[in-house]
Chain A
Amino acid sequence: MEALLLNLLIFAPLAAGVAVWALPERLERLAPRIALWTGLAVAVLAILLWLPVFGLNPDNLIGETNLGWIVVGDEIGSVEIRYHVGLDAISAPLVALTGLLVPLSVACSFPSIRTRIREYYAWLLLLTTGMVGVFAARDVLLFYIFFEFTLIPLYFLIGIWGGSERRYAANKFFLYTFAGSVITFAGILYLAVRAAQLSGSGRVHFDLLALSNLTGLSAVEQSFLFLALFAGFAIKVPFFPLHTWLPLAHTEAPTAGSVLLAGILLKLGTYGFLRFSLPMVPDGAVSWAGVMGALAVAGIIYGALCCWVQRDVKKLVAYSSVSHLGFCMLGMFSLLPVGLSGSLLYMLNHGISTGALFLCVGMLYDRYHTRDMDKIGGLARQMPILAFFLVLFVLSSIGLPGLNGFISEFTVLLAAYASTDVLGPVYGVLGASGILLGAIYMLYMTGNVLFGPLKQPPGSPDLHHGLSVDLNRREIAILTPLAILVIVLGVYPRVVTDPLDPLLRAQILPRVERAVRAHSEIINVAHGMRTATDKKAMDSASGLSGNVAVAAITPRSHRPSPEEVATDLQSSESTEASTVAPHVAAGGRP
């Protein structure tokens, strides 16, 4: 049943998109309606599929379908590309977020899209298929296909319905991401080929879990593979020196495009790092973690400084994504459990609050046809409802305690601080300055737009297409679900992190932790040649501080009961388990 629902979730938008495209011209007004209803159905399905995530066994998938798609070969060797989809605790929340944002972005397009309407909604629905598919895919090549497929609809959404520089923006977006992802593709191919060789079977497959448990790659190979995967994912994130396509694409895209780009598509990059880079090439990830951390911090600060000088509200929000995803990556490359779950939480929170900010900016733009902070100001008096929502989302984006941004920002910084094996306090401290800068630029923008003397361009607000001075019912209905989520996730983030922990523990952490240990041993040996005592001190310090933080953040799930530790020790004969257990036990002690 769930399998049917998941496949429906992937393919119904595709079918609806084709249907919308094929509508005859006289029925054009039906297009938005069909798209909205499909979007609502997507939302319902996505949330239905997210619910079973509680208590899900990490080995099981929600709505798993596993069919052979392209199987070529004979008994000596073959290539298998499978249509294997299913959701787990990492992907289900992201699919739920997708489901939530799709109807909202359809609904926000009603007043602004006036040309080539059928095409617009068709591309939007095709994009939905791509986004759901990419998270649901369990076959790496299937993932890659959906990953690339998302480029096409967004390219057209930006290029046809965007702002004045839309074509340049769309081309830059497409070519930048395509150039990165073909390198990722080469990396995936190499990984699969090597996996077949290592297993000695001659069967080349792209199964996610099997590739995630691959052993036997040399350190150099892992390092290069990490770089290959990095090329595609980092551009998508966008990671600091590779972010230059993003502000342009965001600014030029129509509101719905920006919302989905910021809310979902940027997450493909971070999801890729979490899902592929970390478990598949853990040694590579560890050896590059320092660089990744440094770049993440650079991105946080650089993005924030860029925001500070923007006069264009939308560009400001766009640059804030660079800064925010720097946080997300910083948490991930702390390589601590708390950092990983914080980073996933960050993805969701960023999707919600930045998506919401783009929606607000879009609603302003519909009325004033400008996003220039010098031309609009003091709108709070005219538009109290918008002011309320904007302030709420700005505060959530800054990370006000009690709202969703806070908990994830705090955890990733703590993880960076505590992860002495790979990152360290310096990263945490420098990263934390991003919070301060974030507060500055966000509040500066809010102050400019909402408060002070009333400024509006002549002839505005433009109240065609059923708009009113303040938000109308449609717009309130768009923003309300996001506002509720901002508060819910702020108060009770465990709704995401609780199901996540067992999965991370089962699939990603063991390999990452082993790599971290191997790495720190090498470093310790190097240090040990100089001072043996230092090494001991460092070891105990890193073990303690890291795990104290872990215990502090998610007390329940991170503190294993004595029985668990005992069974761990008994059941597993490998050396790793016996070394993990004391660490875990140490974490439980305080």
Chain B
Amino acid sequence: MIYQAISLGDILPELTLLIGACAVLIEAQLGLTRRPLSAPLTLLTIVVAAVLARFVSPLEGSGGCGLLFGPFSDFVRMSGLMVGVLLTLSSWSQPQLAERGEYFCMMLLSLAGLLVVGAAADWLNLFLALEVVSIPTYVLVTLSRDNPRSLEAGTKYFYLGAMSAAIMAYGMSFLYGVSGSLSLPDSIAAVSEALHHPGTLPHGLATIGIVLTLTGMLFKISAVPMHFYVADVYQGAASPVAGFLGFVPKFAGVAAILKLASMAGGELSGGGLFWGLWVVALLSMTVGNVLALLQYNLKRMLAYSGVAHAGYMLVGVLALSDTPRGILDDGAAAVLYYAVIYGIANLGAFAVLAMLRYRGAPCENIIDLAGLLRRSPGAALLMALALMTLMGLPPTPGFWGKATIFGSALARATQLPGAEQTWLTALVVLGVLNTAIGAAYYLRVIAALLLHESDEPAEFAPREAPHVGALLCGFLLLFFSFFPNSLLSMGASASRDYRDQRLARVADPPPAAMIATQPPAGS
């Protein structure tokens, strides 16, 4: 595929974020006004980007320079920017004055990376975009934190992140080697062709490539076995940043994994990849939930619960299907929906947590929350709602997420042959049992919030903007409880877009000889 030129109009939202990031940084350095403008500028940037993404959206299927626009990229854009607004609001006054410029600049850059992940249509762009998402988060974790634990967390996060990026790049090089093309659609066709011929060299290389690339991406969504950093990092980071980590890198990772998994396509139902993902999904759910059950620090608990949620999302990835008959057969829609809902709920919990003070220090332990209902009912109920969403209690949006993910897995299972059918169904049963384990530790927090009485409840110190952010999170959760349709349909059309694209390619693959002999035109 020869690189087409891209019209700048197509990437206006991304450009806006980039320009906004620079402007925020410069404004903070110049210090033109007495009150820092970083946060309002960030908000303005995101809103403008959202408006542009909504109304000046590029033609479907247009693109170039390794970017491709369509419902999938639209979904990533819209949900990324929507949650971006919430993120900005909830971290409004978190960073120290002197560091606000850097903080919000990093946030905008990371968001811009997320948007590019959604549109990336070649390996180079995908890798770069994923790193643009990740690198600012290493900074965010340590920014404006004065305890050594944060520094440790940031260091740990950085080294492990760099390692995972290296693994991912290495894997991508294999995929490039197999297909001879950087472009995702071409690569997809060649790799799935190679996967169809077990025993040959391309098959082996393609498998290694997919496994390594996937491993790198599992780090982004903090799935087992790439989860070791997560608890320390969440604990070390400020609460709004922890909320940020639960959405932006995770969502980027999920989008990337969906792209990669759709490459294996029908092959995902047979062979090693299926079993590999099966084991990873089960381990993520179980390890995450069990470790979360053992935590008494709320941030660590939410971190490990994030591992479990990554496991649920991988169940949905296993449910990807070439011939879906409607949304339930289509794991991708469920996964996209789930990632967004998880992000909002997680952020909601952290946003409330960020405003709580217990004896002057930030509130971190579950027991510190005791009796919050009496002191500030709104905060307590909001947090309870977020936790119930994470728990998956009907009719919260988390329940719809679990329903669609497990439903698609079951629907997929019925189409699979013998052993895989049994084991995928078994995975769903293990998944719902894991939900029950999850209920145990979320309930502990809800009990602390609403049941327990305390003479000295935590103090709720609301600042205007974070308060609005938390309320918006709550509002969105309530809205998606009763009207999950909109987001689900968007997810469904997003996933359909990607699949159609791939199927069209598979139906019309480039001649194999060309792949083997000719150097790719773009290189």
* Chain A 144-161 interface residues, beta-carbon cutoff 8 Å to B: 144-145, 148-149, 151-152, 156, 159-160
A141 to B328, CA, bound (A): 15
Say yes or no: A77 contacts B329, CB within 8 Å.
Answer: yes
* Chain A 332-363 interface residues, beta-carbon cutoff 8 Å to B: none
1/0 contact trace for B317-331 toward A, CB 8 Å? Answer: 000000011111100
Cβ of B271 to closest chain A Cβ, rounded Å = 24
Q: Which among A185-193, A207-215, A418-426, A487-495 touches the partner chain?
A: A185-193
Say yes or no: A72 contacts B443, CB within 8 Å.
Answer: no
Chain B residue numbers with a CB within 8 Å of A71 are 485
Partner of B326, one of A145, A189, A190, A204: A204
Say yes or no: A79 contacts B326, CB within 8 Å.
Answer: yes
A71 to B492, CA, bound (A): 12
The answer to the question of B432 belonging to the interface, with a C-beta cut-off of 8 Å to chain A, is yes
Cβ of B383 to closest chain A Cβ, rounded Å = 15
Say yes or no: A202 contacts B439, CB within 8 Å.
Answer: no
Partner of A145, one of B395, B407, B484: B395
Cβ of A216 to closest chain B Cβ, rounded Å = 12
Chain A residue numbers with a CB within 8 Å of B425 are 190
Say yes or no: B328 contacts A204, CB within 8 Å.
Answer: yes
Chain B residue numbers with a CB within 8 Å of A170 are 447, 451
A312 to B394, CA, bound (A): 36
Q: Which among A88-96, A175-183, A379-387, A527-535 touches the partner chain?
A: A175-183
Cβ of A141 to closest chain B Cβ, rounded Å = 8
Chain A residue numbers with a CB within 8 Å of B432 are 182-183, 185-186
1/0 contact trace for B417-437 toward A, CB 8 Å? Answer: 000000001001100110110
Partner of A189, one of B325, B403, B489: B403
Cβ of A508 to closest chain B Cβ, rounded Å = 26
Chain B residue numbers with a CB within 8 Å of A197 are 411, 414
Q: How many residues of B contact A (CB 8 A)?
A: 40
Say yes or no: B395 contacts A149, CB within 8 Å.
Answer: yes
* Chain A 108-154 interface residues, beta-carbon cutoff 8 Å to B: 141, 144-145, 148-149, 151-152
The answer to the question of A70 belonging to the interface, with a C-beta cut-off of 8 Å to chain B, is yes
1/0 contact trace for B441-454 toward A, CB 8 Å? Answer: 00110010011100
* Chain A 64-109 interface residues, beta-carbon cutoff 8 Å to B: 70-74, 76-79
Cβ of B481 to closest chain A Cβ, rounded Å = 10
Say yes or no: B429 contacts A73, CB within 8 Å.
Answer: no
The answer to the question of A311 belonging to the interface, with a C-beta cut-off of 8 Å to chain B, is no
A570 to B327, CA, bound (A): 44
Cβ of B142 to closest chain A Cβ, rounded Å = 38
Cβ of B421 to closest chain A Cβ, rounded Å = 11
A77 to B400, CA, bound (A): 18
Chain B residue numbers with a CB within 8 Å of A192 are 407
Cβ of A574 to closest chain B Cβ, rounded Å = 28
Centre residue among A70, A189, A204 by max chain B CB count within 10 A:
A189
The answer to the question of B78 belonging to the interface, with a C-beta cut-off of 8 Å to chain A, is no
Say yes or no: A193 contacts B447, CB within 8 Å.
Answer: no
Secondary structure of the A contact surface, majority rule: helix
Say yes or no: B451 contacts A167, CB within 8 Å.
Answer: yes
Say yes or no: A78 contacts B327, CB within 8 Å.
Answer: yes
Say yes or no: A159 contacts B325, CB within 8 Å.
Answer: no
Partner of A77, one of B326, B399, B483: B326
Given A79-B326, A175-B440, A182-B432, A156–B451 Cβ distance below 8 Å? yes
Cβ of A497 to closest chain B Cβ, rounded Å = 33
Chain A residue numbers with a CB within 8 Å of B395 are 145, 149
Cβ of A579 to closest chain B Cβ, rounded Å = 33
Say yes or no: A76 contacts B325, CB within 8 Å.
Answer: yes
- Closest B-chain residue to A174, C-beta based? B443
Cβ of A174 to closest chain B Cβ, rounded Å = 6
Partner of B394, one of A74, A79, A144, A203: A144
Centre residue among B400, B440, B451 by max chain A CB count within 10 A:
B451
Given A77-B326, A193-B414, A72–B394 Cβ distance below 8 Å? no
The answer to the question of A194 belonging to the interface, with a C-beta cut-off of 8 Å to chain B, is yes
Chain B residue numbers with a CB within 8 Å of A76 are 324-326
Cβ of B419 to closest chain A Cβ, rounded Å = 15
The answer to the question of A171 belonging to the interface, with a C-beta cut-off of 8 Å to chain B, is yes
Say yes or no: A186 contacts B428, CB within 8 Å.
Answer: yes
- Closest B-chain residue to A178, C-beta based? B439
A145 to B432, CA, bound (A): 15
Cβ of A170 to closest chain B Cβ, rounded Å = 7
Chain A residue numbers with a CB within 8 Å of B484 are 70
Chain B residue numbers with a CB within 8 Å of A72 are 327, 485, 488-489, 492
The answer to the question of B104 belonging to the interface, with a C-beta cut-off of 8 Å to chain A, is no
Given A71-B485, A149-B395, A159–B451 Cβ distance below 8 Å? yes
Say yes or no: A194 contacts B414, CB within 8 Å.
Answer: yes
* Chain B 352-395 interface residues, beta-carbon cutoff 8 Å to A: 388, 393-395
Say yes or no: B325 contacts A77, CB within 8 Å.
Answer: yes
Centre residue among A76, A170, A228 by max chain B CB count within 10 A:
A76
The answer to the question of B410 belonging to the interface, with a C-beta cut-off of 8 Å to chain A, is yes
The answer to the question of B406 belonging to the interface, with a C-beta cut-off of 8 Å to chain A, is yes
- Closest B-chain residue to A74, C-beta based? B326
Given A156-B450, A186-B429, A171–B325 Cβ distance below 8 Å? no
A230 to B411, CA, bound (A): 22
Cβ of A134 to closest chain B Cβ, rounded Å = 12
Chain A residue numbers with a CB within 8 Å of B436 are 175, 178-179, 182
Chain B residue numbers with a CB within 8 Å of A178 are 436, 439
Chain A residue numbers with a CB within 8 Å of B439 are 174-175, 178-179
Chain B residue numbers with a CB within 8 Å of A141 are 403
A193 to B444, CA, bound (A): 34
* Chain B 480-523 interface residues, beta-carbon cutoff 8 Å to A: 483-485, 488-489, 492
* Chain A 194-208 interface residues, beta-carbon cutoff 8 Å to B: 194, 196-197, 202-204
Given A77-B324, A174-B443, A148–B393 Cβ distance below 8 Å? yes
- Closest A-chain residue to B434, C-beta based? A182
Cβ of B119 to closest chain A Cβ, rounded Å = 24
A152 to B391, CA, bound (A): 13
Chain B residue numbers with a CB within 8 Å of A182 are 432-433, 435-436
- Pairs across A and B, CB under 8 Å, 24 listed: A70-B484, A70-B485, A72-B327, A72-B492, A76-B324, A76-B326, A77-B328, A78-B326, A145-B395, A145-B399, A152-B393, A167-B447, A171-B444, A179-B433, A179-B436, A185-B403, A186-B406, A186-B428, A189-B403, A189-B407, A190-B410, A190-B428, A193-B410, A202-B329
Contacts A159-B447, A196-B328 aside, 17 further interface pairs with beta carbons under 8 A come to A70-B400, A72-B489, A73-B492, A79-B328, A141-B403, A145-B394, A152-B388, A160-B450, A171-B443, A175-B443, A182-B432, A182-B436, A186-B429, A189-B406, A189-B410, A189-B428, A203-B326
Interface residues of A (CB under 8 A from B): 70-74, 76-79, 141, 144-145, 148-149, 151-152, 156, 159-160, 167, 170-171, 174-175, 178-179, 182-183, 185-186, 189-190, 192-194, 196-197, 202-204, 228
Instruction: Give the 4 A-B CB pairs with smallest separation, nearest first.
Output: A77-B326, A202-B325, A179-B436, A77-B325
